[in-house]
Amino acid sequence: MCLFCKIVEKEIPSNLVMENDEFYAFHDINPKAPVHVLVIPKIHVDSFNELTGEMMKNMTSFIQEVALKTDIKEAGYRVITNVGDNGGQEVKHLHWHVLGGAKLKWGHFSDANAKDFF
Ligand code: AMP
């Protein structure tokens, strides 16, 4: 069983934000913003590559609820999912990083020279 499946099963403790039948949201153990929540499906899905449109539809409203509950919805926030090795995905269970609570910097591919990064 993968790390995040164990969190869903409560075999590993987590700091819960909210859950429903399909999804689970908890605080990242190593936050990269004042609010850094991970949103995962309760069933095991490896990555965004395996996510269906049907599940994405329900995840969208769940993520919006997480943003509301953590009080970042109005001021703005960022939603990211890393996919595979080049995307920097360390945990091979689909998760959305929901980041907010401060003005977030946007690094490479915006104000920097992309050539410096590969
Ligand atoms: P990624 O690099 O996109 O796969 O992101 C994995 C995220 O999971 C990282 O931001 C980690 O800090 C986070 N993480 C790893 N283990 C735990 C844990 N036990 N509880 C909460 N967050 C975790």
Q: Please say if the pLDDT value at position 82 is more than 80.
A: yes
Residue at 104: amino acid letter: L
Using CA atoms of 96, 90, 113, 99 in order, give the dihedral in degrees to the nearest 10: 30
Ligand 1 surroundings by CB, under 6 angstroms: 3, 12, 14, 28-30, 38, 82, 88-91
- Coil, helix or strand at residue 49: helix
Mean pLDDT value of segment 49-61: 96
Give 32-54 pLDDT, tens digit per residue. Answer: 999 999 999 999 999 999 999 99
What are the b/e assignments for 25-54, b being 16+ CB within 10 Å?
bbebeeeebebbbbbbbbeebebbeebeee
Q: Whose CA is nearest to atom 3 of ligand 1?
A: 89
90, containing H or E segment: none
Task: Establish whether 95 is a catalytic residue.
Answer: yes
| pTM exceeds 0.85 | yes
| Distance from Cα 34 to the centre of ligand 1, integer Å | 15
Taken in order of first residue, the domains within the chain and their CATH numbers are 3-117 (3.30.428.10)
